[in-house]
Structure 1
Amino acid sequence: MKIATAQQMRDMDRVAIQERGIPSVQLMETAARAVADAALELAAKHRKGKEGPGRAVCFCGAGNNGGDGVCTARLLLEAGLEVRAVLVGKREKMTPDCREMERRLEDLGGQLEDFNPNSPEFALWCLEADVMVDALFGIGLNTELRGNARTAVQMMNTCDIPVVAADIASGVEADTGKVLGDAVQADVTVTFSLPKAGQFLGQGGLHTGELKVADIGIPLDLILWAEENQFSSVTREDLFLPRRPRDAHKGDFGRVYILGGAVGYSGAPVLAAKAALRTGAGLVTVGVPAPVWPVAAAKLDEAMPHPLPAGKEGMLSLEAMEPVMDHLSACDVALIGPGLGRGNSASSVVRHLIRAYHGPLILDADGINALEGHMDILEARKGLITVLTPHDGEFARLGGDLSDGDRLAAARRFAEEYQCCLILKGYRTITALPDGQAFVNTTGNPGMSKGGSGDILGGMLLALMGQGLSVREAAPMAVWMHGRAGDLAAADLGEYGMLPGDLVERIPRVLRECEGRRS
């Protein structure tokens, strides 16, 4: 699903109104109808069969988003609700369309009253409402909320009454998802024409609630033009699974290699290998330090673990380089890092392999940490396929800058600079490609915040790439499937009790859900 920037939306509106001749108030009426429908649905749920017409409060700014709110108030009044439309802003700053919607509201007997946050009568009336409408700012806000606007947001957030936001929750920056001082906690957001980046990124996703995309009458060719933006969310409909030939053999589905493990960290490569197998890899070889090999061999019936030279601390020794390179020469794609540890010799082995191996390479965990202070090694892999899967802390060790809170921009900068695929893990994981294209993930839950979950993602990505999918296809797909497996585990077991291994067991269910979407 394509995601638009605020500027793209402004450009679409301008062309539709000024060049295509579509009346702006017509677009506003259509947008307000979608908001009103959502508000009526929320109000009905909130009333739960109570008698009476129901009540709605519409908080409206002075701009065109406020005009959406005033129009929504009129439509709710027409639907039989008791409605109070409140202007949170200065009347002299009202746009022409907002004024026109005020006139139409008055023609129906309604009123756009000035916001008086100190009025006990208004506060008591709000407490009896069944739904509130947030139409304060829309996508144009880029400074922190203050004054009456912030007070209105706080009222919506503390009244325990469902809120529907028009286009975007007020206080959320449209392009980054930053919360500008405070933001409406919407139950439903009705956004217009296309989703906005801020509804997925940063804290914005936490304030959006259920996201509904409304067609307000922007011509389709303008929508398609905006969809050329290189930022998307991944949905189940985007998944692509290659059809398996009837005469296939195990070698057709990838010869993949995992290098990981250390004493005390034996589970990481095991989880990665099991995930790779469950995701369809044909042959999975796992290199681990010799002291870890008995554990891996006992747990991996379907993979092929082999021991590697290790030092006293139970991590790889420098003597492991040659046997690992021998195995890498026969594999299609490699995953380096799960549970390797950060010893000097293990890190040296990793850096040597990154230089010497020219095949597709996924770096996770300590495979990433080994690059700290050695980014020239990653520079040298430009032109080769390299995927990094850091969380925010690992990303910072690589020089990634998240100080401004814009994870999307930071991920894109890194991927473009080093010509790699970056999977920046966390809430709403971002996958950034070297050409600037990026994806945001919407699956997953807090129950996945346990050691081992990232190893499973690495194994799933390894398997998909080993089966011939490009990085552009495999990386966002693996992230979505990983989160979906977590959601299935949470549904079955709860977020507290689920374990990373439970994700592995649910990978087949995720794949089965996608079986109807094959080439």
Structure 2
Amino acid sequence: MKILSAPQIREADAYTIAHEPVSGLLLMERAAAACADWILRRYAGSSRPFYIFCGPGNNGGDGLVIARLLAENGFAVQAWLVAAGNVSPDNLANQARVPFLQKINAPADFPHMEEPGVIIDALFGTGLNRPLDGWVAGIIHQINDQRGRQEIIAIDMPSGLMADQSSKGHACVHARYTITFEYWKLALLLPENGGFAGETVLMPIGLHPAYTAAVQTEFHLTDMEMIRTVYRPRDPFAHKGTYGHALLVAGSYGKMGAAVLAARAVMRAGAGLLTVHIPRCGYEIMQTAFPEAMCETEELASHSAHFDEPFRLRRAPDYDVIGIGPGIGTDPSTAKAFERLLGHWQGPLVLDADALNILSKWPSLMPLVPKLSILTPHPKEFERLFGAAGDHFERLALLRAKAKEWQWYILLKGRFTAMACPDGSVFFNPTGNPGMATAGSGDVLTGILTGLLAQGYGPKAALILGAWLHGKAGDLAAAISPESLIASDIVDYLANAYAEIQQ
């Protein structure tokens, strides 16, 4: 699914008006009616009143139509026009259809809302391109002061939030729900805005599909259509050699759990064969906990606590991919062994956890990392590798720049995990939940990605499918209680996640 900028969304509206054809007024009616239908379904049977705040532009026009439709369906509705700027023609036309409309010209005009109900924020939408200030910012703060008593729904965007640039420190409505039209907006996918948008509802409004098909964008949100395009069903005549042989370098004394979780995920993701290179201290643990994996350890008994064995060149041709990092630690001897591995391996590579920490401690190793490798940092690991950013838009730009500079695929973990590709494109993953913020979840992701690469998926396909599977398995595992989710649950539900694709 394409993520469009605010100018592109205006172009989509104009294209639809010109080519459907439909008037701007009727397109506004269509969009607002879709919102009103969602609201009517959510609050069916409720006697809660609606308090609707409308701005002077087309977002305010949407609010006016919603006010009229809710009133026609028997709800108690009050509506106010915040007179702050030039009124759009379609907004003006809809003002005449809302006889109960009142005006707010200053913060002192802010209404007293006696009963707990629902505030609908239709002040400013996607077109906003500057911070709100003055008395209008005061209105935003007054709306937010009502959050304890009123549920807040934002139309298209929480007012004050800009679609394509940071709104950090700005006055923005804090919504419980945001009903956004047709396309996701970049701001709704970045962590700094999560508290403003709440739960986002994507509302199709029938914008012309020809425009969507033709428009170019570097930002995409993974959807089921994309996943089913990427996914490759199994060949009924295949054998274990068909799906590759992965090498996983993982574990150290006290951190063998990371190795076991990653190893299980490699195989559950579909790899045909797996060898796990572990320190000697973990041999019995791995063989007992996961007998499906073959084990390789250091040859010397003294090398028992962590990875410090030179990479075995005689075995290199046996592997289709190497995943390295979960639980290996950052001992200097481990860093040296990692350097030797990088010096002798130019095939598919997944780097996570301590492999990334080693790179940040010894940045001279970065040029040795093969092009098209996959790196999977969480935000702090990303900052240690590439530096801090002032806001999440800057961090997204840095993510894209580093993926292009090093020709790597970089997966930045988060609520909407962002995956930057060497060509500058970015894919956001929508699956996953807060219960996955638990120890070992990242080790499972490393295993999934390694398992997909072993099967012959390219790095971009592995990223898109792997992140989706990881999040979907977490969603299925957390269906009863996100709080009780543990990383091994994600592995256990990978089969269910695959089944969702195959339906």
TM-score normalised by structure 2 residue count: 0.90
Distance 1:180 1:476 in 2: 33
Match among 444, 456, 460 for residue 448 of structure 2: 460
Out of 93, 113, 130, the residue aligned to residue 100 of structure 1 is 93
Q: Does 1:284 align with 2:278?
A: no
Q: Is the counterpart of residue 77 in structure 1 residue 71 in structure 2?
A: yes
The change in CA–CA distance for 1:211 and 1:306 in structure 2 (over 3 A counts) is same
Equivalent in the alignment of 1:475: 463
CA contact (8 A) 2:324 2:355 kept: yes
**How has the CA–CA distance of structure 1 residues 68 and 332 changed in structure 2, closer, same or farther, with 3 Å as cutoff?**
same
Q: Give runs of aligned pairs for residues 285-434 of structure 1, distance below 5 A.
A: 285-308=275-298, 314-317=305-308, 320-323=309-312, 325-372=313-360, 374-375=362-363, 377-381=365-369, 384-406=371-393, 407-434=395-422
Tell me how far apart the structure 2 counterparts of residues 343 and 23 of structure 1 sit (CA, whole Å): 67
The offset of 1:473, in angstroms, is 1.2
Tell me, yes or no, if structure 1 residue 212 matches structure 2 residue 201.
yes
Alpha-carbon contact 1:281-1:463 (below 8 Å) kept: yes
- Residues 1:57 and 2:57 aligned together: no
Cα distance in 1 between the residues matched to 2:499 and 2:17? 46
Task: Pick which of 158-167 and 471-480 moved more.
Answer: 158-167
Supply the distance in 2 between the matched residues of 1:183 and 1:268 (Cα, whole angstroms): 41
Q: Residues of 2 paired with 1:201 and 1:213: CA distance?
A: 16
Change (3 A) 1:110 1:274: same
Query: Do the aligned partners of 1:38 and 1:188 also contact (CA within 8 Å) in 2?
Result: no
Q: Does 1:222 align with 2:211?
A: yes
| Cα shift at 1:375 | 4.5
Check whether the contact 1:176–1:201 (CA below 8 A) recurs between aligned residues. Answer: no
Report the Cα distance in structure 1 between the residues aligned to 2:214 and 2:141, rounded to whole angstroms. 34
Question: 1:138 aligns to what SS in structure 2?
Answer: coil
Q: Distance in 2 between matches of 1:514 and 1:16?
A: 32
Q: Mean alpha-carbon deviation: is it higher for 137-146 or for 306-315?
A: 306-315
- Taking the aligned partners of 1:301 and 1:498, their CA distance within structure 2 comes to 24
Q: Secondary structure at the match of 1:104?
A: coil
> Quick one: distance in 1 between partners of 2:139 and 2:455?
55
Contact 1:70–1:112 under 8 Å retained in 2: no
Q: How large is the RMSD of aligned CA atoms in angstroms?
A: 2.6
Q: CA deviation at 1:85?
A: 1.7
1:4 aligns with 4
Partner of 2:497: 510
**C-alpha offsets along residues 46-103 of structure 1, whole Å, 9 cap, x if unaligned?**
x2xx5xxx6321111222212221232233333333322212242x532333222223
Cα 1:179/1:42, change in 2 over 3 Å = farther
Kept in 2: contact 1:328–1:334 (CA 8 A): no
- Aligned position for 1:194: 183
Instruction: Tell me the percent identity.
Output: 35
Mapped to 2, the partners of 1:88 and 1:433 lie a distance apart of 43
Q: 1:176 to 1:440 in 2, by over 3 A?
A: farther
1:165 aligns with 2:129: no
- Give structure 2 stretches of 5+ with no counterpart: none
- Opposite residue 201 of structure 1, the aligned amino acid is L
Q: State the secondary structure of the residue aligned to 2:126.
A: helix
- C-alpha separation between the residues in 1 aligned to 2:324 and 2:8? 40
Tell me the secondary structure at the aligned position of residue 200 of structure 2: strand
Task: State which drifts further: 202-211 or 239-248.
Answer: 202-211
Instruction: Tell me which amino acid in the other structure corresponds to 2:294.
Output: M
Q: Residue 483 of structure 2 corresponds to which residue in structure 1?
A: 496
Query: 2:41 is matched with which residue?
Result: 41
What code does the residue aligned with 2:420 have?
A
Structure-2 change in CA distance of 1:334 and 1:37 (3 Å): same
Corresponding position: 1:87 with 2:81: yes
What is the SS of the residue equivalent to 1:455? helix
Any idea what SS the aligned residue of 2:67 has? Answer: helix
Give the alignment of 1:118-197 within 5 angstroms. Answer: 118=108, 122-123=111-112, 126-128=113-115, 130-146=117-133, 147-152=135-140, 154-156=142-144, 157-175=146-164, 178=167, 180-197=169-186
Shift of the alpha carbon at 1:291?
A: 2.3
User: Aligned equivalents of 2:172 and 2:114: distance in 1?
Assistant: 20
Mean Cα displacement is larger for which, 176-185 or 162-171? 176-185
* Farther-moved stretch of structure 1 (424-433 vs 187-196): 187-196
CA contact (8 A) 2:311 2:340 kept: no
Distance 1:217 1:244 in 2: 37
How far off is 1:201 after superposition? 1.9
SS of residue paired to 1:359: coil
Using the TM superposition, give the Cα deviation of residue 25 of structure 1 relative to its aligned residue in structure 2, in angstroms.
Answer: 2.0
Tell me by how many angstroms 1:309 deviates.
5.0
Aligned position for 2:239: 249
1:418 Cα deviation from its structure 2 partner: 1.0
The change in CA–CA distance for 1:425 and 1:41 in structure 2 (over 3 A counts) is: same
Q: Secondary structure at the match of 1:134?
A: strand
Q: 1:488 to 1:214 in 2, by over 3 A?
A: closer
CA contact (8 A) 1:38 1:164 kept: no
Separation in structure 2 between the aligned mates of residue 300 and residue 82 of structure 1, nearest angstrom: 61
Q: What TM-score, normalized by structure 1, do the two folds share?
A: 0.88
In structure 1, stretches of 5+ residues that fail to align are none
SS in 1 for 2:297: strand
Distance in 1 (CA, whole Å) between partners of 2:347 and 2:284 is 29
Matched, 1:31 2:31: yes
**Partners of 1:74 and 1:110 within 8 A in 2:** no
Take 2:232 and 2:17, find their aligned partners in 1: how far apart are those partners?
44
Kindly indicate whether the alpha-carbon contact (under 8 Å) linking 1:142 and 1:180 is maintained by their aligned counterparts in 2: no
- Pair 1:263 & 2:257 matched: no
Sort the Cα spacing of 1:351 and 1:187 in 2 relative to 1 into closer, same or farther, 3 A.
same
Give the distance between the partners of 1:460 and 1:127, measured in 2 at CA: 53
